[in-house]
A = this chain, B = another copy of it.
Amino acid sequence: MTITPPALSVFEALESEVRSYCRGWPAVFDRAQGSHMFDEDGHTYLDFFAGAGSLNYGHNNPVLKRALIDYIERDGVTHGLDMSTTAKRAFLESFQNNILRPRDLPYKVMFPGPTGTNAVEAALKLARKVKGRESIVSFTNAFHGMSLGSLAVTGNAFKRAGAGIPLVHGTPMPFDNYFDGTIPDFLWFERLLEDQGSGLNQPAAVIVETVQGEGGINVARPEWLRALAELCERQDMLLIVDDIQMGCGRTGAFFSFEESGITPDIVTVSKSISGYGMPMSLALFKPELDVWEPGEHNGTFRGNNPAFVTAAATLDTYWADGQMEKQTLARGEQVERALRAICEEQSGTHFRGRGLVWGLEFEDKPRASAVCKRAFELGLLVETSGPESEVVKLLPALTISPDDLDEGLRTLARAVRETA
């Protein structure tokens, strides 16, 4: 495929220099369907990025599209603040019936504003309010968002520097396997907590991703998560699982922490919860933590009702039984086999992942970007992650067909080969 770089004039002239993805993918996209995106020049791209995990059910999923158009056609409430609406009720009922009740999860549901960082900010506020302490523990290479509260618990130095104020009130601890298994889990963290002279401000909560997406596809083992949950319990800290990128089935189960058997105190959900790429987020928490005063946290777009409609449709369609989870795990094995083959062929490469989130790491770090660039030329959308952009990150839609998945993996293998 030959791609002529389009005349990006209005983008270059008017849009801020902060724009990013459009630089690596110099096309003007027009339409999208399932696992494919189409640019205005007629090129087709296979999407292994899925809106950074926001499109688990593919682009413009026809089931959701139908529900959405029906809702819009009949003038359903679009913007509902936190008024009660029929669309919100339908979502809440579906969430209760398909997600919470079968998993025996006791959570209250908060709509904290439609983006992931809104949910994280709400979760941190609530934890601080409940515990009456200000400090939060996060993990190396965590990513939780770009507003100041979330950014303070995010690891990336480049993003942090953007704050323009010292980001304090948080302390990083080593994520699972940070020392390649040579150090006992939580050795440092637990010692700091137990030593009255350690200098660690007693944390209100710990915030963790079960798989760090932006951080380089770092996968926490279930036993590490269980030990973390026990440590939180023992040390009177709340456990917040940020499931914004890894929830909604990305790792197989609806919540990424299900595999480990833990029940976090607070869970943040966003990205694929609406299923259609529309902004929506949730903060879930144990009922005894629901100490909010009415209106103590709010937000203009926390009642994005069209998103509630598609969200309910995803739950009813994909999560009424265990099929989706099984399928994701099967597709994941397909990815794993392909990555293993690549790594066997190419020295200096490593792979890791769970469900349908996988990372291909290059010891020669700049090569990861080169692979993404070559993949784009070959019609495949993949992006890097990790602190030095050294990992190619695979986030195909959960609904991708085995053939499309296979094609993308073959393109990836070619891109790897051609950048060797």
Please, how many angstroms separate the alpha-carbon atoms of A113 and B127 in the complex? 24
- Cβ of A32 and Cβ of B78 under 8 Å apart? yes
Contact of A129 among B28, B125, B164, B195 (CB under 8 A): B164
List, in ascending order, chain B residues with CB within 8 A of A291's CB: 17
Does A183 belong to the interface (CB within 8 Å)? yes
A174-198 interface code vs B (CB 8 A; 1 in, 0 out)? 1000110001000110011001111
Q: How many copies are assembled? A: 4
List, in ascending order, chain B residues with CB within 8 A of A279's CB: 114-115, 278-279, 301, 304
List, in ascending order, chain B residues with CB within 8 A of A115's CB: 113-115, 118, 279, 299-301
Contact of A79 among B277, B295, B297, B388 (CB under 8 A): B277
List, in ascending order, chain B residues with CB within 8 A of A51's CB: 79-81, 300
Contact of A28 among B86, B93, B172, B300 (CB under 8 A): B86
Name 29 A/B residue pairs within 8 A (Cβ), A-sorted. Answer: A11-B84, A14-B92, A14-B108, A18-B293, A18-B297, A20-B295, A29-B77, A29-B80, A32-B76, A60-B78, A65-B72, A69-B69, A69-B73, A72-B72, A78-B276, A114-B301, A118-B147, A141-B198, A148-B148, A148-B149, A157-B198, A159-B298, A161-B296, A188-B188, A196-B387, A198-B387, A277-B304, A278-B301, A279-B279
- Cβ of B162 and Cβ of A297 under 8 Å apart? yes
Please, how many angstroms separate the alpha-carbon atoms of A161 and B153 in the complex? 20
List, in ascending order, chain B residues with CB within 8 A of A20's CB: 82, 294-295, 298
Please, how many angstroms separate the alpha-carbon atoms of A204 and B187 in the complex? 27
A383 to nearest B CB, angstroms? 9
Majority-rule SS of A interface residues: loop
Contact of A166 among B6, B40, B134 (CB under 8 A): B134
A residues 211-228 near B (Cβ < 8 Å) are 215-216
- Cβ of B270 and Cβ of A86 under 8 Å apart? no
A residues 49-72 near B (Cβ < 8 Å) are 51-55, 59-60, 65, 68-69, 72
Sort A-B residue pairs by CB-CB distance and give the 8 closest, nearest first: A128-B164, A79-B277, A197-B387, A168-B168, A172-B199, A147-B147, A18-B292, A148-B149
Does A37 belong to the interface (CB within 8 Å)? yes
- Cβ of A146 and Cβ of B22 under 8 Å apart? no
Please, how many angstroms separate the alpha-carbon atoms of A18 and B125 in the complex? 12
Please, how many angstroms separate the alpha-carbon atoms of A111 and B22 in the complex? 13
- Cβ of A140 and Cβ of B59 under 8 Å apart? no
- Given A78-B60, A387-B196, do A164 and B204 touch, yes or no (CB 8 Å)? yes
A245 to nearest B CB, angstroms? 9
- Given A69-B69, A294-B17, do A89 and B179 touch, yes or no (CB 8 Å)? no
Please, how many angstroms separate the alpha-carbon atoms of A366 and B167 in the complex? 39
Please, how many angstroms separate the alpha-carbon atoms of A124 and B165 in the complex? 10
Does A202 belong to the interface (CB within 8 Å)? yes
Please, how many angstroms separate the alpha-carbon atoms of A110 and B146 in the complex? 14
List, in ascending order, chain B residues with CB within 8 A of A85's CB: 28-30
Does A420 belong to the interface (CB within 8 Å)? no
Does A104 belong to the interface (CB within 8 Å)? no
- Cβ of A162 and Cβ of B296 under 8 Å apart? yes
Smallest CB gap from A130: residue in B: B164
- Given A121-B148, A290-B17, do A60 and B32 touch, yes or no (CB 8 Å)? no
A281-297 interface code vs B (CB 8 A; 1 in, 0 out)? 00101000011111111
Please, how many angstroms separate the alpha-carbon atoms of A23 and B83 in the complex? 8
Smallest CB gap from A81: residue in B: B21
- Cβ of A165 and Cβ of B169 under 8 Å apart? yes
- Cβ of A387 and Cβ of B195 under 8 Å apart? yes
- Cβ of B297 and Cβ of A86 under 8 Å apart? no
List, in ascending order, chain B residues with CB within 8 A of A114's CB: 114-115, 279, 301
